[in-house]
């Protein structure tokens, strides 16, 4: 076979296109890396969205490192090396450049296939940012691989820019093995899927107090403006009358920013339990569905020592002002949340049965089926009586405000969320991991509960 006639030079518009595609892939990878390191959300990827679930999943990391960091390194290596294939480069420089471009291109193409398959078959969600980066990188890799100057000659010549076929195959195999090892590492080594933060207490002389038992308008002003306000008695003279008497059991969360009268919210377990945990969830959130039996198991293990304040927090822009738009999986989340609160309002002891039922489905059942279930649990007349209860909307606003403070101040935007004492936990945990956090409060009487 005759040696190739390709000179290995990247010319004109094709060179510009390849570099532009690689630059775009590198830019997206750099942006996603910054999002991962900052703990924020990518533009258009609000909490509970498909891309947020992809970027927060175990597959977005390897050995605790964001895969976007690895993608950025390979993209930059590709981009820089293409300039060694310019018109002014020597044949020897071009041959060396192509020996780098071949394995890097195979890694980019293989990684694009791997992560696209993960999104399609493991996560069943697609991240637009990731897909765009993979598409740009894969297209650039294909264009480069179709331009590799390959020769069957075994002798290396300084004036020959071609890479020997055996060398090209060897580098390609090494790249394929590298991608395979990445997949094995991600499969075998699981990343921590939850985070824990410590909540600083609000100074007693400057309280941002937004209690669930105060009018909702007061809640909205304090939380949305995120300002330290004077004690609530200075805001309005009759607020003291709305506070619960000392005999009423209350729960302070987020360092005292919010206070609940436990007789006025859904609670699993005894109100006399010394430990109390706040649970925020969304009936349309698959992580919340996974955590529901875990939370039940954990609560049963503590028996009468732990009560769980269980509050729906819909990731739906229809009632959640923090959501710019409603991710498709969370359509009608507001209605599901209101139905859940209506169940508790009409018949307190029916809420656990309702939650068990709705979380038993892979996806929430149709609203008509859920409504029929609510009526079966509490009765038609009680359901109609509470359907327009202003408490339901007020409670939703309070819960959303709590989530807003958690996301803004403590970077906990994922769901579900759990708050106990001075800790916020978000994400998916095992029963043992959740018990470990709760247990330290049971073992330390002096720790805030």
Outline where DSSP puts E strands in 245-336.
250-253, 258-261, 267-268, 275-281, 306-312
In this structure, how many other beta carbons lie within 10 angstroms of the beta carbon of residue 369? 12
pLDDT tens-digit series, residues 247-269: 458 999 998 899 999 999 999 98
Q: Which of 181-195, 373-387, 407-421 has the highest mean pLDDT?
A: 373-387
pLDDT at 201: 66
Residue with more model confidence, 437 or 206: 437
3-7, 101-105, 117-121: lowest mean pLDDT where? 3-7
pLDDT at 362 over 80: yes
Least reliable range by pLDDT among 18-32, 191-205, 411-425: 191-205
Tens digits of per-residue pLDDT, 220-232?
A: 323 323 333 333 2
Q: How far is CA 432 from CA 57, 67, 93, 312, 428, in A?
A: 20, 28, 57, 24, 12
CA atoms within 13 A on the CB side of 320: 29
DSSP-derived secondary structure for 170-236: HHHHHHHHHHHHHHHHHHHSPPP-EEEEEPPPPPTTS-----TTS-HHHHHHHHHHT-----GGGT-
pLDDT at 208 over 50: no
Q: What is the pLDDT of residue 144?
A: 97
- For residues 365 and 210, give the distance between their C-alpha atoms in angstroms, rounded to a whole number: 34
Please give the domain boundaries of the chain with CATH numbers for all domains.
12-191 (1.20.1440.130), 195-443 (3.40.30.10)
Which residues touch 259 (CB under 8 Å, ≥6 apart)? 209, 211, 212, 213, 250, 251, 252, 253
CA 275/CA 350 separation, integer angstroms: 23
Question: Rounded CA gap, 36 and 61, in Å?
Answer: 10
Over residues 277-313, the pLDDT tens digits come to: 999 999 999 889 999 999 999 988 898 899 999 999 9
Residue 408: the pLDDT is: 86
Among candidate residues 34, 25, 124, 115, the one with its CA nearest the CA of residue 43:
34
pLDDT at 232: 28
The SS3 assignment for 259 reads strand
pTM above 0.85, yes or no: no
| pLDDT, tens digit, 9 for 90 and up, residues 26-77 | 999 999 999 888 777 788 887 767 888 898 888 999 988 999 999 999 999 9
Taking residues 191-208, what's their average pLDDT? 68
- Asked if residues 295 and 434 have their Cβ atoms less than 8 Å apart, the reply is yes
């Amino acid at each position: 076979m005759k040696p190739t006639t390709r000179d290995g030079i990247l010319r004109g518009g094709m060179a510009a296109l390849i570099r532009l595609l690689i630059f775009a892939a590198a830019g997206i990878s750099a942006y996603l890396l910054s999002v991962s390191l900052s703990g924020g959300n990518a533009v258009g990827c609000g909490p509970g969205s498909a891309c947020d679930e992809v970027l927060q999943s175990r597959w977005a990391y390897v050995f605790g490192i964001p895969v976007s960091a690895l993608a950025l390194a390979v993209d930059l290596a590709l981009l820089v090396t293409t300039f060694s294939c310019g018109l002014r480069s020597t044949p020897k420089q071009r041959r060396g450049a192509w020996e780098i471009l071949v394995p890097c291109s195979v890694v980019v193409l293989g990684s694009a296939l791997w992560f696209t398959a993960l999104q399609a078959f493991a996560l069943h969600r697609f991240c637009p940012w990731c897909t765009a980066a993979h598409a740009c990188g894969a297209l650039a890799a294909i264009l480069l691989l179709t331009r590799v100057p390959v020769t069957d000659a075994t002798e290396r010549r300084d004036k020959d820019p071609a890479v020997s076929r055996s060398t090209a195959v060897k580098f390609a195999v090494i790249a394929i093995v590298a991608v395979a090892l990445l997949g094995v590492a991600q499969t075998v080594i699981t990343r921590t899927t939850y985070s824990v933060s410590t909540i600083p207490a609000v100074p007693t002389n400057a309280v941002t107090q937004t209690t669930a038992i105060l009018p909702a308008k007061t809640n909205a002003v304090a939380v949305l403006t995120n300002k330290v306000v004077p004690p609530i008695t200075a805001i309005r003279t009759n607020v003291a009358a709305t506070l619960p008497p000392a005999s009423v059991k209350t729960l302070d969360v987020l360092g005292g920013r919010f206070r609940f009268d436990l007789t006025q919210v859904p609670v699993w377990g005894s109100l006399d339990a010394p430990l109390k945990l706040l649970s925020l969830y969304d009936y349309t959130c698959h992580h919340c569905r996974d955590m529901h039996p875990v939370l039940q198991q954990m609560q049963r293990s503590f028996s009468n020592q732990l009560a769980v304040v269980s509050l729906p927090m819909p990731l739906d822009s229809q009632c959640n002002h923090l959501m710019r738009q409603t991710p498709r999986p969370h359509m009608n989340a507001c209605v599901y949340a209101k139905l859940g609160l209506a169940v508790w309002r009409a018949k307190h002891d029916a809420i656990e049965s309702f939650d068990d039922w709705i979380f038993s489905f892979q996806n929430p059942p149709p609203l008509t089926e859920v409504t029929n279930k609510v009526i079966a649990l509490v009765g038609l007349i009680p359901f109609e009586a509470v359907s327009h209860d202003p408490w339901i909307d007020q409670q939703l606003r309070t819960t959303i405000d709590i989530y807003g403070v958690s996301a803004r101040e403590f970077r906990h935007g994922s769901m579900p969320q759990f708050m106990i004492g001075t800790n916020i936990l978000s994400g998916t945990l095992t029963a043992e991991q959740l018990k470990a956090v709760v247990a330290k409060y049971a073992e330390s009487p002096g720790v805030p509960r």
